[in-house]
Chains A and B, each alone.
Chain A
């Protein structure tokens, strides 16, 4: 009885079996890659804001402290987006006629809020608290990147859960002295691991990876 299938069928079937496995793996990898991509996370994507406010200019070149505008960041859950009043503290005097600032002046005049595009968006079921992170020595730059070098602010980190957990599991890799939290240019002198271990102890940092730490 002649063979129904040609000998090459063996190779073909082997290829298709392994090919299917490969295709499946590639699909999964693809999904994971898409999920972590800037398209999905918004990482590195600058948003167009109603006012062309430059952090690079204000925080970088002028050297204004983060807390001048984000006043509550040390104690509250939200860092706080400054009210129009804060802009007008200076811009009632400086660049008072600038066309760039027309929306700010309009907001102040009409008592209607500026509507900013949110850059660092967390899902609604995540309850993040700025205050405790600042108190435990997590620098602004650790999550927000070199804001002092950004003209338009973008997300420096993915803000995905695995990114959060990287620090919650190994905080010693990221911590800095409390007095350096707002120093965007600070770099550890010497061994970060040794410094981190010291700070973990000094600040009583616990590796909280319980779901209830962030989800309620």
Chain B
């Protein structure tokens, strides 16, 4: 809570926690401290409205306003309904049924690697991205950045024209200029031509680049990605002598060790890993065990059975210790940091040994190559290769040491050897390592061309800026983590005539060709199936995967001399860890309101990044939440506000990349601080010897953490596997269950369907995919930082995060909270205008056009899941944003309450289709948006009247409990208590 200015007394906090004993749940440091400001906030009738009330309006003003509003409201009622027009097609596409969306399979690449999606299209407008169940990297699920790509398409601040020196130019003008420059290069074999791309997995783009290099043999192609996978590539080279791609089959792993690996948020397999791990988290004999060693708490650490907070730089020493304990001949570990955790390591090693061939050690992408090589060696020693660990050839088209590639480019630029530079995507001026001075070197290039979605920092310094076609506007192709190719098909013609990299490259060296022809001709060329190409092409587009393109597993052998320890750095000072932001990634999504406003998984911060550090570190440095500090490392410094994260490793500071943009849109600029300013080419992930110095200034965060507190009741329930075995109904211990008939109101009869939801807290990883899917499906507005700080965020579904136990090593639990759809709903009985009432299938329906905005319902809601439009949050004027909306859901205006509806539009559609066919809605046919997006299948929705439905069976599970069930609200949304599987050998340590 930003309002509590006084620094928190951590010693007192520790004492208070010790006094509580057991697994005391707390949500934030302020709550734990019971600071006066926090208590005052809680005791307001509605804490989230306190800020608005503080701005007082005197009585006279109030009466004047009310009289005017009443008068104007009366006038508004005199209007006749507006006239409307119908604009039919001239020739209607045959497959189109008005009002029924069409779904097209395509993919969204991130860092080059594709996640397959099904794009929902309403009359030619893509409105939502959903996971493609047949795609190996999606399995039907979708993560927040991939989903939010849709909003990027409609971003009103996308670049709309070709510009040169700030003036609007034409495509033909651009072609004339660049073709002339290329012609000048031709006699010299293109020695002055350099092309910079992001990671390329696209077979077509690779073929085009190869053709370009064949035409200009002296030209150079550079690949660089700010949050790339250099370390993994280098680790594979060290271990196997080839840039082998490694993926893990965690569904077959009984024991998993994550070495600073953010399994569920980064990397090409993130959704797949989430599904696989969650599949083994259901209590029972098949339950796997997850160990996580990490510096900054991540969703992986939150799910882990054992989490060890270790500075990122100490992870290598830890891995070395594990390797040595397993009997591998490795260089000695600097034992300093790992020594106190010896029991932990022993138990882990025993566990790994006991599960030879059925365990997996997964290194984090940001860990140095040595850790990757060590992990490969450990997996090899444990016989995991070919079982839980699968090696294939590289998925990238041309595996490159990207840091070296960028360095070479900068050196060439500085030497004046680069005459023509084509930057196809990416934003190197903003994101390149600070010590390279990319911008300075760029100035020496005679002709600079930049293709990008926004007029960004790089466009500013280039001669030509080309407005790129969005991924949903262009033809392309891309590979998934296992090599499976998806043909990317456009959902809509380019809104601003943007062009894809394929089209630009084609036009530079030959006649202009549409992207469709480039991609199709490439595949026509490689199609060797002998069969009908048209059938192959249509099948590939329909399915969203090209059959038989997954790379075959290969066997690899450890190379001698693989163990090269990372040179020891001076240990003085703090360690500074650079991580891509979980949602903005490297900054490419900075102008995306959905992602900016989505609370970050552990910190619950929105619209900001921060210097994240452990409570004890903050205490030692004398800083508290919101204090602006000067972060200095290697002679560079930046000003960053501090945010204290329980469970963070000591003497380590995590900063997220992607903020502090200077150009690229109104949402992107002026938000957060630029961590790239501290990042050097030699230390892209971990910098040692950093120092924090308080500046005395304060920064106001917009954090959703403390809002709508539920005052420490047994909201999230969890137990260990042993406890669950002994007491399968542990979730109901000490629970008060009021009799069903204790209500003044007549009971409802649910004769047909009765919709209900069960959320498995053991499976939930807190990734917020559900919250964003809900936002996209239900036209939920973005409100901005100031409004979030007032508690006015509009997300219908929030994911609460609870810490339990020790301040320095807490257990972290997540709980998604949508509307509970209570059978005895407290909201319904207080509405004076009957705008919220009960329907025959158990939904608490909200009738927007009846709502007069008294907010009594929200006041009476024990779960605080109702959202009020204090202002006109929905954008009613920007044309492109209107196109992004779901036409099946009302766009709410100001003064109206709204909330989760269980996706009533989907229920109605499914019911109508079922009734037209004369049948009942089948179980599983109808899914809510949150359920559909969930990577771990934690959310199950269905008809609780049907005892065979999945949701009814889950609700019969003894783990099933109702949130605040003692209030007799009889919620339809219930939770399955989490069960963790800690190592019995570590149980004693866990207790202490």
Contact = CB atoms under 8 A, between A and B. Distances in A.
A115 B90 contact: no
Assign chain A's interface to a size class: 35 or more
A216 B916 contact: no
A10 B250 CA distance: 93
B89 A113 contact: yes
A216 B86 contact: no
Given A81-B86, A84-B88, A127-B908, A42 B81 contact: yes
A212 B81 CA distance: 22
A179 interface: no
Interface string B844-882: 010111000000000000000000000000000000000
Given A84-B91, A210-B839, A123 B849 contact: yes
Contact of A75 (B97, B837, B845): B97
B908 A115 contact: no
Contacts of B915: 132, 135-136, 204
Given A72-B97, A72-B98, A216 B85 contact: no
A107 B90 CA distance: 7
A77 B82 CA distance: 21
Given A76-B97, A216-B905, A127 B89 contact: no
Contacts of A84: 88-91
Nearest to B906: A216
B750 to A, nearest CB: 12
A117 B254 CA distance: 66
A77 B100 CA distance: 8
**Most chain-A CB neighbours within 10 Å: which of B91, B99, B845, B901?**
B99
B532 interface: no
Interface string A25-63: 000000000000001111000000000000000000000
B61 interface: no
A208 to B, nearest CB: 7
Interface in A99-143: 107-108, 111-118, 121, 123-125, 127, 129, 131-132, 135-136
A131 B106 CA distance: 30
Given A83-B88, A124-B890, A210 B100 contact: no
A107 B840 CA distance: 47
B457 interface: no
A116 B83 CA distance: 11
A113 B99 contact: no
Contacts of A136: 915
A216 B80 CA distance: 23
A127 B80 contact: no
Contact of B88 (A39, A113, A204, A216): A113
B99 A216 contact: no
Interface string B899-931: 001001101100010011010000000000000
B888 interface: yes
A215 interface: yes
A213 interface: yes
A206 interface: yes
Nearest to B889: A216
B752 interface: yes
A85 interface: yes
A117 B82 CA distance: 11
Interface in B84-138: 84-92, 97-100
A121 B84 contact: yes
B25 interface: no
A113 B123 CA distance: 15
A211 B845 contact: yes
A216 B904 contact: yes
B85 A116 contact: yes
A136 B918 CA distance: 10
A69 to B, nearest CB: 10
A19 interface: no
B839 A212 contact: yes
Given A85-B92, A108-B90, A216 B890 contact: yes
Contacts of A188: none
B98 A121 contact: no
A125 B849 contact: yes
A204 B920 CA distance: 11
A78 interface: yes
A148 B86 CA distance: 21
Contact of A125 (B82, B848, B918): B848
A76 B890 contact: no
Nearest to A116: B86
Nearest to B88: A81
A2 B84 CA distance: 69
Nearest to A34: B78
Nearest to B100: A76
A76 B848 contact: no
Nearest to A110: B90
A113 B91 CA distance: 9
B825 interface: no
Contacts of B85: 115-118
B84 A118 contact: yes
B843 interface: yes
Nearest to B837: A211
Contacts of A76: 97-100
A125 B841 CA distance: 21
A12 to B, nearest CB: 31
B809 to A, nearest CB: 46
Contacts of B891: 124
Contacts of B87: 113-116
Contacts of B840: 208, 210
Nearest to A78: B98
Contacts of B91: 83-85, 111
A104 to B, nearest CB: 10
A182 B982 CA distance: 67
**Most chain-B CB neighbours within 10 Å: which of A114, A115, A118, A127?**
A127
Contacts of A117: 83-86
A123 B508 CA distance: 52
Contact of A212 (B89, B98, B843): B843
Given A111-B90, A211-B837, A215-B849, A80 B98 contact: yes
A208 B916 CA distance: 16
Contact of B86 (A108, A118, A125): A118
Contacts of A132: 912, 915-916
B81 A121 contact: yes
Contacts of A42: 80-81
Given A131-B912, A210-B845, A114 B905 contact: no
A121 B845 contact: no
Contacts of B890: 124-125, 215-216
A212 B907 CA distance: 10
Contacts of A78: 98-99
Contacts of B918: 204
B84 A82 contact: no
Contacts of B905: 127, 216
A117 B891 CA distance: 24
B909 to A, nearest CB: 9
B356 to A, nearest CB: 55
A213 B99 contact: no
Contacts of A82: 88
Contacts of B839: 210-213
A112 B904 CA distance: 36
Given A42-B81, A113-B88, A116-B85, A215 B98 contact: no
Nearest to B97: A76
Nearest to B843: A212
Given A76-B100, A118-B85, 4 more contacts: A121-B81, A127-B888, A129-B912, A131-B912
27 contacts: A41-B81, A75-B97, A75-B916, A77-B99, A81-B86, A81-B88, A83-B89, A83-B92, A113-B89, A113-B90, A115-B86, A117-B83, A117-B85, A121-B81, A121-B82, A127-B888, A127-B908, A129-B99, A129-B908, A129-B912, A132-B916, A135-B915, A208-B840, A211-B845, A212-B904, A212-B907, A216-B905
Interface of B: 80-92, 97-100, 752, 837, 839-841, 843, 845, 847-849, 888-891, 901, 904-905, 907-908, 912, 915-916, 918
